[in-house]
Structure 1
């Protein structure tokens, strides 16, 4: 524990576990404690090296990060959520009403104590920083408090992250919450969008793309191991740094110039606006002869749409419209 005291609103379960001093690996979780299993349970999930057995669906879930929150809302489990936090963008309109019914416990990441005050039995994080050990929010700390955790699997890939990874993430969450039919229904809608774009782009010549996320001295770009690489391919593009053996990485602007992108995709988030990023790229001396710069050919995607979650298919469609407006309208 990062501090010697906890606020008085700790759940009885968490407090009892902390007092007993049980180890994280042997601590029964909130949803796997003794008692009869719910229908369709127990369910055992091996997630990013943490194995959890659920005897019933979570009843007091907390989601952190945009894509984690929207994934749960897409499954209609908002009545089983007691908190959420850390958005990058506005919630998708179709989930707004459900989102408004869930308490926002923090603008960004809450402290471990604030999380405990919500008395959760399950915490779902979109980024690995959700479970930051230095901040006292490690998965082991939650386990010690009797709270189950789940991390978006783009943060611990065993290979390239693809549409199959999206399917697995949604199906796993649906299984944890005991709503597998809702998971299949959601996936049907997501795949319908992808199938439509694939049909519209049949036979198209891919546009050579460079993704600009951020960076002044070097460029932070999308590599080949994240869902962004798959999105670019499905949108009729070719990621010029798909050979990077990770989801994101730094490259020099001279490398960008050597690979001569035909278009630049800007990831939109944070305090730096898209227009500021465009001005920076247009004025960079190393890029002056790059086709994308000469033609001022840019596309834009919000960062929240470029990670593993339910926004991915609509982001593919959006990017396809920007790259191939004659094909996708």
Structure 2
């Protein structure tokens, strides 16, 4: 059984079947990407700035601690739709600093340094620290590049899923639910291994490009670089990501992409509508109508794969993305 479908009594039963882990020894001190955070006890109220962190809190059975959320790109995981509907959503994008602190949280979590960092669009870590509120940045964003003004710069070290497992383990320790964290990590590792086994060995000429969005209908697309979460998925399945940049989401011309002629084009499917090319429909219309993009073999052969946008970001949904890619490769005979 997958934790994707577990909740309530089923999750409790699975946790009880695991060996008991040590309880958190408070006060707990954590080095969070170069910043020392101290927790005198398990937080009772949380404001979560980001879908990735919010869904981890839900998966750890901590929805009752979440006072409010923000920054959403896709619908919440289906098994949490009902609980999420009862939690205040401050904004689908950036809430104000005032809106966050008005909820009187014991903890604020953020997916990206862009929201809380040196020049956080919501606030700085110091602003929250001055009010006695720990601001926890997911290590999957900042562990290998702390103290950045944005989260879209170069990633010097290739992303590994262990960073997401660290997100889970640290949040579980902060809230003293280590058994739940261990169960979630074990399930994700099992699914990851199964996805890789489904594909087996692939030939070296299977290539992919991951298109997230474009600022305008005429602009070059934002595509995934080598070292981010999509690059990790490609490596795990023996595929070649045709974009060699170390930036997480560089812009690359369609002429360059067409010359490299990827075997598969993965496109981000999201509910966000920040840019004109956010929707899957707009992306498909462009690919089939543009005189350059429409000539690519992947477009002509129907090898365009919509993938939930959250699977293309460091999160537990990366495993969903691995499974979707593996199934597409199997269906296309690319094993």
Cα distance between partner residues in 1 of 2:291 and 2:88: 48
Alignment of 1:247-326 (within 5 A): 247-269=248-270, 270-271=272-273, 272-325=278-331
Map Cα deviations across residues 52-86 of structure 1 (whole Å, 9 max, x no partner): 12222111111122111101111111222222123
> TM-score normalized by structure 1?
0.81
Question: Which residues of structure 2 form unaligned runs of 5+?
Answer: 1-22, 145-156
1:111 aligns with 96
TM-fit CA distance, 1:212: 1.4
Aligned 8 A contact 1:200 1:327 in 2: no
Work out which of the two has the higher radius of gyration on C-alpha atoms and give 1 or 2.
1
Aligned 8 A contact 1:87 1:108 in 2: yes
2:173 aligns with 175
Map Cα deviations across residues 6-30 of structure 1 (whole Å, 9 max, x no partner): xxxxxxxxxxxxxxxxxxxxxxxxx
Cα distance between partner residues in 2 of 1:136 and 1:212: 27
Q: 1:39 to 1:198 in 2, by over 3 A?
A: closer
1:194 aligns with 192
> TM-score normalized by structure 2?
0.79
Partner residue of 1:141 out of 127, 138, 143: 127
Q: 1:217 to 1:88 in 2, by over 3 A?
A: closer
Cα distance between partner residues in 2 of 1:58 and 1:316: 33
Pairing 1:218–2:203 present: no
Cα distance between partner residues in 2 of 1:157 and 1:40: 23
2:229 aligns with 227
Question: Which residues of structure 1 form unaligned runs of 5+?
Answer: 1-37
Q: Secondary structure at the match of 1:251?
A: coil
Map Cα deviations across residues 244-299 of structure 1 (whole Å, 9 max, x no partner): 11221111222212212111110122334212212212333333543213323201
TM-fit CA distance, 1:315: 1.8
Q: What count of residue pairs does the alignment treat as equivalent?
A: 290
Aligned 8 A contact 2:24 2:173 in 1: no
Over 4 Å off, 4+ runs: none
Q: Secondary structure at the match of 1:150?
A: strand
TM-fit CA distance, 1:134: 6.2
Aligned 8 A contact 1:174 1:183 in 2: yes
